[in-house]
Structure 1
């Protein structure tokens, strides 16, 4: 199926980005659909539809991703949830979401404020370091993925991450953060 989705997208960089998105979120979207539909075949149908919509509306995907890569997951979950509800309605099993259903929460809700502060600090960094740090620490991309996406050599990415990390630590110290000694 991935080949079909990629056929809807122009440009090798865009196809590479979509492939990473597919690999990262396929299981999670399936889990969301299965929790609603309680049927593996229907869950696969909803997930397939969600990826097809994301590929067909790649400009929207790209805009969301470039604004904040962490908004992609809720966007994709919303698509698969809506498609699952559509399937339930077609089968005559509508009635909205089950009362006990909730959108998957971030894995670490305690550190959400600290996380948002960190993301805000990264976004205030000079452009040279900002995108590399976002991809490395916010989106959790590998050095190789970042280098390919930005058209840089891996050593250049490593250097920017290192220098950007130093600048980020300076900003954190300015805000009163002190690294705890271990």
Structure 2
């Protein structure tokens, strides 16, 4: 039997000129976003492929900051720690969630991303994907194919909703000053939009 949540699920058409969800990901309901953010807050262990040619692929724990939009990661237990500051990537600026088998628009003859093609072994491609940002990619191999599906669906829904919230905030007379009101103070409207997406209570 279906629960009320399932029968009243909101399926938003995931179309934005600024964001491309993973192929087959069409559901950006509150339920999916909230569940995914809750899982990210507790940490999700994956294999992350380093951007440097000399950098090994390592187990990392993906984590989202309390703002519900900033992605970071840290070494998994037993992995060498880094002296570098942990990254903080704004998921509202993600332009695509791309599976390793999806076409690379910059190299139409290839799939995935340059890092996935270089670092991800062929037997793992089915459970690998990348978060594409304007100036970098975050290239990930999940532990299982199921985890990969959950991550791609979750990131697709979360990034989509964050961008919709950004656009809604801008449309309320902010004149392109994202997150700031006319007097230069942080504007509550954009934070409210993201809080409604990440409030897990």
How high is the TM-score relative to the length of structure 2? 0.24
Larger Cα-atom Rg: 1
How high is the TM-score relative to the length of structure 1? 0.25
Higher RCO (C-alpha under 8 Å, 6+ residues apart): 2
Greater fraction strand: 2
